[in-house]
Structure 1
Amino acid sequence: MANEAKPCPCDIGDRMDYGGLGQEVQIEHIKAYVVKPSSASYKAIIVIQDIFGWQLPNTRYMADMLAASGYIEVDAVLRYLKEQCGAKHIGAVGFCWGGVATHYLALQYPEIKAGVSVYGIVREREDRYDLKTPTLFIFGEKDDVIPLDLVSVLEAKLKEKCTVDYQVKIFLGQTHGFVHRKREDINPSDKPYIQEARTDMLNWLKKYM
């Protein structure tokens, strides 16, 4: 739990006033948020939220944005996507804690066609550079949670050991949470970076799915 001496690193940015276009569902023991595109799709993205969960309006906004680009969107499990949504191509996008989880998925599940880890990085596994999935890593230059020297090590080790496609991109002047926790309308100087990062995310998914 965050406190004044050591605030939660994810408790930054802006909370959106947003309800969402999808619906809440129960998948076995998991509650999830599902949103589908307007036309039929055989592609799906698992969105893994930060510690505030899928109930956070910002996370629902990102899910709806991906669905508008033609992906079935669900914070759930691969089996549900395949059996209930008819997904044949599955990707993963994660923010903060969810970015770490996306990195884990990219290491263990080759059936994940594309991964986007947004300010998240696995630190303790020996095989953390042996990606099985093409993965885009997005970081902010002024992220107090993930220092640039850690990002530099990641990039160098991936270049040395990784056998699938990857990209590490650092956004100048940006902090932890900028992609999904900052509102463009009240952060005009950050808007170009927010939009560029979101476009990069969509382009990466489109390329590999």
Structure 2
Amino acid sequence: MASECCKTGFRWNGEPTGTETTVAKNKAYVTGTSKSVAIILIHDIFGWTFKNLRLLADHFAEEANATVYVPDLQVAPLFGGEIPATTEMMDDEEQRNKFDFAVFVQKHGKQVRWPEIEACAQALKSEFPKVGAIGYCYGAWACFKLAADPSLIDAVSVAHPSLLENNEIDGLKVPVQIVAPENDFVFTSELKEYSNKVIPTLGIPYEYVYFPGVSHGFAARGDVNDKVQKEALERAKRSAVNFFNEFLH
């Protein structure tokens, strides 16, 4: 059940306006012109080329006055013989069934991908006075790990995080925002309760933004033709923009 909701969603219309570059040896999508603020957008299982996330990066660049990077964590292409996560499987149940989330997590677990994410943050922190991070689903656990080290990051926002552990919540040291849907088999009610109990004791600014009537994945893969989902995903974007404008400027 938990892995199924990570594989479904909707693809958005529109064309990204950024370009491609490299950050700490990783390919990356980049958008925006700020010299003082950078934001790392850490992608979900669909990878750095997922158009929805590139469109979100464009919004953050313009509305939060930042240069936004979406580094390639090499989780979406065919890798080590596994069946890749492709956006086509959102519409194709047969493809979804072929994708083994457990194998994916084993091959792209935290110990595998964290060094790349840390290196990207270090590279941007050496260039920009302020650096924030936002992560969706698979990408959100990495934001929490970054948030344990103020020398790497200044503020993080996460939307419907997956693979999150209590000790990563315990270690937060910079301002944090959580975008939380009502229905989430991954960011469970227990994790929500733990977050809302522990984070207010850590002495950091904390914002918990609750979204009734929507499910895991809505902020990055919501259905723009559904009024409730469209309003929620737009509010999630605005919430992150406001958060970054407050803590990165």
**TM tier, smaller:** 0.7 to 0.9
AA aligned to 2:128 is A
8 Å contact kept, 1:106–1:112: yes
Correspondence for 1:22:
18
Residues 69-101 of structure 1, C-alpha deviations (whole Å, 9 max, x = no match): 211011341344255xx4211100000011111
Corresponding residue to 2:67 among 56, 67, 72: 72
CA distance in 1 between counterparts of 2:209 and 2:40 reads 21
Q: Which of 64-73 and 113-122 deviates more?
A: 113-122
AA aligned to 2:57 is A
Q: How many residues align?
A: 199
AA aligned to 1:35 is T
Q: Is 1:165 paired with 2:159?
A: no
CA distance in 2 between counterparts of 1:123 and 1:6 reads 13
| Deviation, structure 1 residue 206 | 0.7
Structure 1's 82 and 164: CA in aligned 2 closer, same or farther, altered over 3 A? closer
Correspondence for 2:228:
189
Q: Mind listing any 5+ residue stretches in structure 2 that lack a counterpart? A: 72-119
Residues 174-204 of structure 1, C-alpha deviations (whole Å, 9 max, x = no match): 10111111143x1122222222221111111
Normalised TM-score (structure 1): 0.85
| Deviation, structure 1 residue 6 | 7.6
Q: Which of 74-83 and 164-173 deviates more?
A: 74-83
Could you say what secondary structure the match of 1:172 adopts?
strand
Q: Mind listing any 5+ residue stretches in structure 1 that lack a counterpart? A: none
AA aligned to 2:189 is L
1:26-175 aligned within 5 A: 26-37=22-33, 40-69=34-63, 70-76=65-71, 77-82=120-125, 86-120=127-161, 123-124=164-165, 126=167, 128-159=169-200, 161-175=201-215
Normalised TM-score (structure 2): 0.72
| Deviation, structure 1 residue 146 | 1.9
**Amino-acid identity (%):** 27
AA aligned to 1:43 is V
